Amino acid sequence: MTRVETTHAWRGHDQRLGRAAMTFLLFLPALIFLAVWFVWPLGQLILLSFQGEDGAFAAYQEILTSEVFRIVFFNTLKLAVLVTIICTILAYPAAWLLTRVKGFWFSIALYCILVPFWISILVRTFSWMLLLERSGPVNNFLITLGVTDQPLKLLFNDLGVYIGMVHVLLPYAVLPIYSSMLKIDQRLLLASDSLGASGRTTFFKIFLPLTLPGVTAGATFVFLLALGFYITPALLGGPHNLTAAMLIDSFVNERLVWPLAAAASVILLVIVLVVLAVTSRFVSLGSSVVVK
């Protein structure tokens, strides 16, 4: 390639141009689609957020000074953080198990993690409502076991929301962590062992640090998705489990104040972008998703 470029500099130049044009053409349909259906509406939304009746920044001012909005945003963040922590803690051993099992059991374990991806979030949320209701299977089981004599309140509260959201978001944490575990050279663990380290030391000094990029990537995905969650908290939560997404919905559908909804959306978007920018400084999110 270098020889082509030096001896036939012009032709090499043309070839590069041709390749760039080809790349551009291949990207074009997707670019047009995104421009029309994503970038344009997003622009409209941002414009809309500055079109309040009382001036350009009225909507932002109202939101940022509103007590309710502050509480809802704080609750949304708290919910997202806790769901992220729970998901990461549950995902780590699951991902490790995936790297250990082989053949038939690997397929089973992988499908257990992937199948929920293929079922509509609405269906899964309604399933949880059936499972968790007062006389549902979970309560019956607990009563049979003698854990409780009264049916527990598992729905329309924090517990229901956490169960539902962790279930939906768990695969997003498992897959990047699994991928980072696969990438670890087994000889590093042998080297640690031969240098005299206990299993515990090998885990904390070698294995865990080397999987941290996967953990960070997984946690970031879960956190960002959890921030915008709507259906699960709406169906499984109680009146006080109001999230930012639900608030935006009520601005649009109940109060009919579109600029307010637009401004709240933009604020949520900014939070997401900030989180992404910060984490992408530490890990390459793209490379953590691709297995092998």
Partner 1 sequence: MAVKETHGVRFEQICKSFGEVKALRPLNLEIKPGEFLTLLGPSGSGKTTLLNIVAGFLDPDDGRLILGGQDVTALPPRARNIGMVFQNYALFPHMSVAENVAYGLKVRGVKGMALQRQVNEALEMVQLGGYGERAIDQLSGGQQQRVALARAMVIEPDLLLMDEPLGALDRQLRKHVQLEIRRLHTKSPRTTIYVTHDQEEALVMSDRVAIMRNGRIVQIGTPGELYEKPDSAYIARFLGESNLLPVKVLGVEKDRIAYSIRGYEGTFSTPAKGQAENTPGEAQLLIRPEALRVSQTDGNSLRVVVEEVVYLGELTATKLRFADGQEGWLRAMKSPAHQPGAVIRVTWAPEDTRLLPAKD
For partner 1, the binding residues (CB under 8 A) are: 185, 187-188, 190-198, 201, 205-206, 209-210
Could you tell me the smallest distance in angstroms from the CB atom of residue 288 to partner 1?
15
C-alpha–C-alpha distance, residues 148 and 140, integer Å: 10
Block residue for tokens 């854990």:
147
3-state secondary structure of 55: strand
Q: Which is nearer to partner 1, 140 or 287 (CB)?
A: 287
Q: Which is nearer to partner 1, 103 or 196 (CB)?
A: 196
Calculate the alpha carbon distances from 130 to 120, 123, 127 in Å.
16, 11, 5
Which amino acid would we find at residue 163? I
Q: Which is nearer to partner 1, 119 or 191 (CB)?
A: 191
Q: Which is nearer to partner 1, 196 or 286 (CB)?
A: 196
Could you tell me the smallest distance in angstroms from the CB atom of residue 194 to partner 1?
4
Could you tell me the smallest distance in angstroms from the CB atom of residue 207 to partner 1?
11
C-alpha–C-alpha distance, residues 81 and 78, integer Å: 5
Calculate the alpha carbon distances from 200 to 12, 15, 205, 215 in Å.
56, 55, 8, 19
Could you tell me the smallest distance in angstroms from the CB atom of residue 149 to partner 1?
50
Among candidate residues 246, 228, 238, the one with its CA nearest the CA of residue 68? 246
Q: Which is nearer to partner 1, 195 or 277 (CB)?
A: 195
- At residue 218's C-alpha, the angle toward residues 86 and 175, to 5°, is 105
b/e for 126-143, b at 16 or more Cβ within 10 A?
A: eebbeebbeebebbeebe
Could you tell me the smallest distance in angstroms from the CB atom of residue 261 to partner 1?
45
Could you tell me the smallest distance in angstroms from the CB atom of residue 191 to partner 1?
4
Answer yes or no: are the C-beta atoms of 221 and 212 closer than 8 Å: no
Q: Which is nearer to partner 1, 126 or 207 (CB)?
A: 207
C-alpha–C-alpha distance, residues 181 and 104, integer Å: 20
Q: Which is nearer to partner 1, 160 or 213 (CB)?
A: 213
Block residue for tokens 């897959």:
175
Could you tell me the smallest distance in angstroms from the CB atom of residue 211 to partner 1?
11
